[in-house]
Structure formats: C-alpha cells, structure tokens
C-alpha cells in the first residue's frame, strides 16, 4: 500500500507540474490580445473626446439659432412658445 501511495503522489506531482506549464506562444497571444484591447479602449476614449467637442459645438450653434429666431419673432410680433 505504501508504494501505491507514493505512485499516486508522484502522478499527482507530475499532473500539477504539467498543468502549471504554459506555452510561451499562449502567453504571447494573451499579451497581444491585452495590447489590442488597450489600444481599442484608448481609441474609443479619443473618439468620445472628439464627439463630446462636436456635441458642445452643436449646442452652441443651436443656442445661437434659438436666440436669433426669438429676436426675429419678437421684432415681427410673432409669439414663440
């Protein structure tokens, strides 16, 4: 029985050792995927900054047009809701 226990421990040790060994190619692939995800997130953040600036600009344009329409309506005596 003692020999059987040693065999099991040895087999278990080999199994743990084999499971713990990772392929360098797999590590490289995971690192590349992390880099791609990081690049995509940076790109999305940059696009959001640009879109935020565009929205702010459009809000200013609409505000100016709204003011102009209200002035024209007031001059012509047209009620504006």
The answer to whether position 65 is within a domain reads yes
- pLDDT confidence bin for 3, thresholds 50/70/90: low
Total domains, the chain:
1
**pTM summary value:** 0.54
User: What is the pLDDT at residue 56?
Assistant: 95
Has residue 73 been placed in a domain?
yes
Q: pLDDT tens digit string along 7-65?
A: 788 777 777 776 667 778 888 999 999 999 999 999 999 999 999 999 999 999 999 99
Answer whether residue 15 is part of any domain.
no
pLDDT at 11: 79
Report the Cα 50 to chain-centroid distance in Å.
16
Write the CB contacts of 79 (distance below 8 Å, at least 6 apart in sequence): 73
Sign, CA dihedral 31-34-38-40, equals positive
Q: Determine, yes or no, domain membership for 20.
A: no
Domain span including residue 36: 25-81
Cα first-last separation, the chain: 94
> Phi and psi of 60, rounded to 5°?
-65, -40
Question: Does 31 fall in a domain?
Answer: yes
Instruction: Note the pLDDT of residue 33.
Output: 95
Asked whether residue 18 is assigned to any structural domain, the reply reads no
């Amino acid at each position: 029985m003692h020999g059987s226990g040693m065999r099991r421990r040895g087999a278990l040790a080999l199994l743990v050792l084999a499971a713990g060994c990772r392929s360098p190619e797999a590590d490289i692939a995971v690192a590349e995927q992390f880099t791609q995800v990081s690049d995509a997130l940076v790109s999305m953040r940059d696009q959001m900054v640009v879109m935020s600036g565009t929205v702010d600009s459009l809000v200013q344009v609409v505000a100016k047009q709204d003011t102009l329409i209200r002035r024209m309506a007031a001059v012509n005596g047209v009620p504006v809701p």
